[in-house]
Structure 1
Amino acid sequence: MGVAVGDILKLPVLEQATLQTELYERKVEWISVIETPVENFVRNNEFVLSTGVGCANDVHALEEYVQDVIRSDASVLAFATGRYIYKIPDRIVKLAEKHELVVMEIPWEVRFGDILQDVLRLIGEEKQTEQRRTEEIRQELINCVLNGKGLQDITAVIYKNTGIPTAISDHNKQIRANQHFDRYWIDVLNGNEQEAGTLIEMEWQVDHPLCHYIETYQIGEHVCHQLTILSNYKKQGYVLFKPEDPDELNPTTFHILEHALTACALYFVKENAIEMTEIRLKDNFLLDLAKRDVVIDRSLLSKAQLLGYDLEKPYICLVGHIQFFPTLDNPIGNAVPHVQSSSINSRNYYIQKEVTHAGDAIKRQTMTTFDEGEVIVFLETDRPEYEETANQFLDLIERRLHELLKGITISWGISCHKGGYQVFHKSYEEAATALKIGKQHEEGERTFFSDTRMNRLLMALSHEKEIGEIVQDTLEKLIDYDQKRQTELIHTFMVYNKYNSNVSQTARAMNLHRQSLLHRLRNIEHLTGLSLLDADDLFLLELSVRLWLLKKVER
């Protein structure tokens, strides 16, 4: 910003001015009358008017005065000649030429007030022109977003008006758009290079509020500047720029960058709103598909296609129950490390991302939604090998999730493969039932609906009133004992039964002394009135415990 010295010399009021140096390519941003001493009264790029009073007939004093003006980085020094100074000494001219300070002589009769008025008017007109230009650029940047254009168009506008190589990244530092930006820095930011930039301090010559928010990184001799794109105090991404010359970062450039930040923030807000709307539409669609027995007609198939789903492929359903357990990295057990927010949305985002990644890896279509702490996935499979496909798919998901979200555990229920297509509701019910049955075992289990026939039979029996009374009579004292004394007699019986009444194997599995185990078994017999050596009593006790556990899961 500023007026070229050549344009100022074209003013009628300066027709009689005589240049004593070359017409250097300097800009003038202000004009003032300054006499000795200069001190700090002269600003950068200033047009200085002087009568030379105080320096008359004293070349050394005049030289010191000119040195002070040069140190202030003024653009022009004009002396009114005819009273105190009649001609600028050659040594002063050479000093000015050495530092590229434009020096001129003005006849004494030309009034400083007239010069000030005309130069200030010219500077004001230039500022208005510059403001109109930056306003047009601001509108052009905003229109990039309003007219449906992207980040690449925003970088094009920045480069066209500044000539500075520019890039825009998202909050993960992934480059989304660039104009003539250094390929090496793009690779560094995208993680394709091992080097990382070192944050350094920069001193800016331009007085602009944006300077306080610039972060500068250096690798070797290479320097890159970045500004953070914020929306509602949330980090959306970064504008990165690499000027070849620091002088390119002038007030006009900073105004353009400031408007670019606004346009980028608007773009990311718009992108996030579209993404959230699409996610809600997909969630509602898949939840209806899973939880209601909807008719799969042409209209529904078309709606699915618009959302990116193909319902004419064969799918199985997987329902996962999500839990977090405390770890050294995640002692709370419910927060999500490695991400700024520990909200459910952040957790679901990572699960969704890994489901999509796993589906792509095994070349299978997936459809995913979430509902009350559960993830529901429809996975494209073939009938003969659907169990192998499901296990391969879940292995990929869990391996990556355990690295991203420390302490996460997901228990899965998996439906059977159907001979026909379009049985989404039935598949979901099977997977939900398998998950419910699997919950009575350890967390993180995978339960296939095809393996739950015994449990489903028991579930059907558990709803019979008379059978419920038998279970209550058999286990009442045992349950009360465990609750009051915090013991594990029911668990001990299940392990004992699992090892076919083998005391030694049971003791090893439970890490118990043999005598301690025998004591527990005698307690079980005493409380239930049943003998663990009698086959009928053993069967009744096992059946009662299984039915009680199923009822517990259902609640």
Structure 2
Amino acid sequence: MRLREALDLPSLAGTRVVAGMVGLDRDVRGIHAIDIPEPSLYVTAGQVLLTTGYAWPRDERLQLRQVESLVDRGLVGLGLAVPHFFDHFSDGTRTVAERLGLALLEIPWEVPFAEIVEDVHRAILAEQYRVIERSERIHRELTSAASEGATLEELAGILGRLINRNVSFEDREGRTLASYRARDVVDDAMGRDGGHRCPIQLGGHTVGTVRITDIVEPLTELEYRAAEHAALVAALKIAHQRELSVLESRLGHAFVASLLEGTFDPTPQAIERARLIGFDPQGRYVVALFVLEESLPIDRDAFLRRERLVHNVRQRMEDLRLPRLVSVSHNHVAVVTREGGIADIWHKREHLDVAVIVGRAHDGFAGIRESYREALQLVPYRRRGVVGYFDELIFPRVIMGDTEAREPFLRALFAPLESDKHGETIKMTLLTYVSAGFQVRETAKRLAIHPNTVRYRLDRASQLMEQSFDDPDTRFRLQFALHLLGAVHNEDGTIL
């Protein structure tokens, strides 16, 4: 218990603190009445000494030397019964005690020391019993949480509620992994370098920190021990997560690699294992390649950079509750995720030195192989720090003479027309319109139909393709497509 709390006991109700107020927040481990010369020989750290003044030096220089000697022994407080042998502590004694942080107490003479000693020792024993009970509760609840697979966020909440402090779990770089706020305080050390830090040790290495940020009131010994126990539980949790991560990574890597290589055998057992790691056989997925700008074969530094990238991507996918379907090959990290998932995984500020290229979304096992093939086609067109999507890069690839991009470009451009039962007629009219310089009357003349019919077909094509034929970019793409198709007009105006 703290000396400040001891002064609230009935036997010390009339006691006056005349110096060393700072010492009131120190812990009291015992209290003794000693009235013999050189009492410093018989006290230990954390004790309070009571004296009637009978053996206290009369010479002020000896008094000061006595105070300094007691402070050197770790005395918390010095109580003098007044008035009898002394009316009060001398001014010099008070000055030295104030400087050294020793609490000086003036106790009414009529209060028996035996009563004070009994009260304080009873309170200390009660406090120790309370601390033991609380310590057992902290140990029990943290250990139980660990055995039940609690997350770090839940562990932070349990610890914070048990000690009524603001708590955070941080990784080795100081980033917050989980936190709990028990109360709002002005001097909270969250976000700064303050607070008490207890290292999380794993295999002789520091992997993180348990940090108590609410330090307005000094931490008790119990709270220090609670932080240490929480660090131990967190270490066990992290070790377990790493073990699961390694197993999941091995299984996930082999599974994803087999999908990308087209060697996956969809047996019932294999499909069941795929479901266990979060893959939906009926789902719609894209394949993204995170490409490190490293020469092959990669050296040790490049290998470490790749491993950090894999760790960051997997951690981000875990935070988003996405299946961590990741495979690694040379300077490529392949990620299989749901349609639209890359936008959530990608963080430009974290991947400035990485190019990301994404295939189109496809269904099922075979679709992943196709998306991967599309992503590989984009490798020569990658840009560091930028996400490149297959559909967005088709036209630039065609312009640059990529023959593999021609068919996907034409298919993507005209595929919407196929949904209409007159799609072929609409397509022929549109291509004729393009070859006629986007002139309706010239188109009608070449097709030998009424201009209104041409306008109707063009309006229908515009609706299906969701494109405006007045847009210069759209016109350029259509003219380029006409060139690729090798469209020519025969004598009666039809397209070959």
| TM-score using structure 2 length | 0.53
* Correspondence for 1:347: 309
* Correspondence for 1:15: none
- Residue 267 (structure 1) aligned with residue 268 (structure 2): no
Identity of aligned residues (%): 15
1:294-305 to 2 correspondences below 5 Å = 294=264, 296=266, 303-305=273-275
* Correspondence for 1:47: 48
2:76 to 56, 74, 77: 74
Determine the C-alpha separation between the residues in 1 that align with 2:38 and 2:84: 21
Deviations 1:392-441 (A, max 9, x none): x79x96965652x4xx678x7x87987x7541585388569869xx88x9
1:320-331 to 2 correspondences below 5 Å = 322-324=292-294
Cα shift at 1:48: 1.9
Amino acid in the other structure paired with 1:348: V
Amino acid in the other structure paired with 1:140: E
2:252 to 272, 278, 282: 282
Cα shift at 1:90: 2.8
Judged with a 3 Å threshold, the aligned counterparts in structure 2 of structure 1 residues 169 and 398 are, in CA distance, closer, same or farther, namely closer
Task: Give the number of equivalent residue pairs.
Answer: 372
Determine the C-alpha separation between the residues in 2 that align with 1:276 and 1:314: 26
Judged with a 3 Å threshold, the aligned counterparts in structure 2 of structure 1 residues 297 and 103 are, in CA distance, closer, same or farther, namely same
Q: Identify unmatched segments of 5+ residues in structure 2.
A: 406-496
1:194-343 to 2 correspondences below 5 Å = 197=192, 217=193, 224-232=195-203, 233-245=205-217, 248-294=218-264, 296=266, 303-315=273-285, 317=287, 322-324=292-294, 335=301, 342=304
* Correspondence for 2:454: none
Judged with a 3 Å threshold, the aligned counterparts in structure 2 of structure 1 residues 55 and 238 are, in CA distance, closer, same or farther, namely closer
Preserved contact between residue 225 and residue 240 of structure 1 (Cα < 8 Å): yes
Deviations 1:177-222 (A, max 9, x none): 2122559999973xxxxxxx4xxxxxxxxxxxxxxxxxxx3xxxxx
Amino acid in the other structure paired with 2:220: N
- Residue 30 (structure 1) aligned with residue 30 (structure 2): yes
Preserved contact between residue 354 and residue 400 of structure 1 (Cα < 8 Å): no
Deviations 1:150-181 (A, max 9, x none): 33443344344433332333445125121225
Cα shift at 1:374: 3.9
- Residue 89 (structure 1) aligned with residue 93 (structure 2): no
* Correspondence for 2:105: 101
Judged with a 3 Å threshold, the aligned counterparts in structure 2 of structure 1 residues 343 and 298 are, in CA distance, closer, same or farther, namely same
Cα shift at 1:29: 0.8
Determine the C-alpha separation between the residues in 2 that align with 1:426 and 1:255: 54
Q: Identify unmatched segments of 5+ residues in structure 1.
A: 11-17, 80-84, 190-196, 198-216, 218-222, 327-331, 382-388, 455-555
Deviations 1:325-375 (A, max 9, x none): 59xxxxx97526xxxx92643232245568999xx9xxx999532245543
1:423 to 340, 363, 366: 366
* Correspondence for 2:168: 167
Judged with a 3 Å threshold, the aligned counterparts in structure 2 of structure 1 residues 147 and 102 are, in CA distance, closer, same or farther, namely farther
Judged with a 3 Å threshold, the aligned counterparts in structure 2 of structure 1 residues 59 and 400 are, in CA distance, closer, same or farther, namely closer
Amino acid in the other structure paired with 1:345: E
RMSD of equivalent CA atoms: 5.9
Determine the C-alpha separation between the residues in 1 that align with 2:347 and 2:10: 74
1:177 to 173, 176, 179: 179
Amino acid in the other structure paired with 1:349: H
| TM-score using structure 1 length | 0.48
- Residue 21 (structure 1) aligned with residue 11 (structure 2): no
* Correspondence for 2:155: 154
Determine the C-alpha separation between the residues in 1 that align with 2:125 and 2:346: 64
Judged with a 3 Å threshold, the aligned counterparts in structure 2 of structure 1 residues 107 and 430 are, in CA distance, closer, same or farther, namely closer
- SS of the residue corresponding to residue 267 of structure 1 reads helix
1:375 to 333, 339, 355: 333
Preserved contact between residue 30 and residue 45 of structure 1 (Cα < 8 Å): yes
Determine the C-alpha separation between the residues in 2 that align with 1:187 and 1:60: 45
- SS of the residue corresponding to residue 423 of structure 1 reads helix
Determine the C-alpha separation between the residues in 1 that align with 2:369 and 2:111: 99
Judged with a 3 Å threshold, the aligned counterparts in structure 2 of structure 1 residues 228 and 452 are, in CA distance, closer, same or farther, namely farther
Determine the C-alpha separation between the residues in 1 that align with 2:61 and 2:376: 98
- SS of the residue corresponding to residue 311 of structure 2 reads helix
- SS of the residue corresponding to residue 91 of structure 1 reads coil
1:427-466 to 2 correspondences below 5 Å = 427=370, 430=373, 451=402
Determine the C-alpha separation between the residues in 2 that align with 1:255 and 1:379: 43
- SS of the residue corresponding to residue 28 of structure 1 reads coil
- Residue 138 (structure 1) aligned with residue 136 (structure 2): no
Judged with a 3 Å threshold, the aligned counterparts in structure 2 of structure 1 residues 35 and 345 are, in CA distance, closer, same or farther, namely farther
Judged with a 3 Å threshold, the aligned counterparts in structure 2 of structure 1 residues 142 and 296 are, in CA distance, closer, same or farther, namely same
- SS of the residue corresponding to residue 90 of structure 1 reads coil
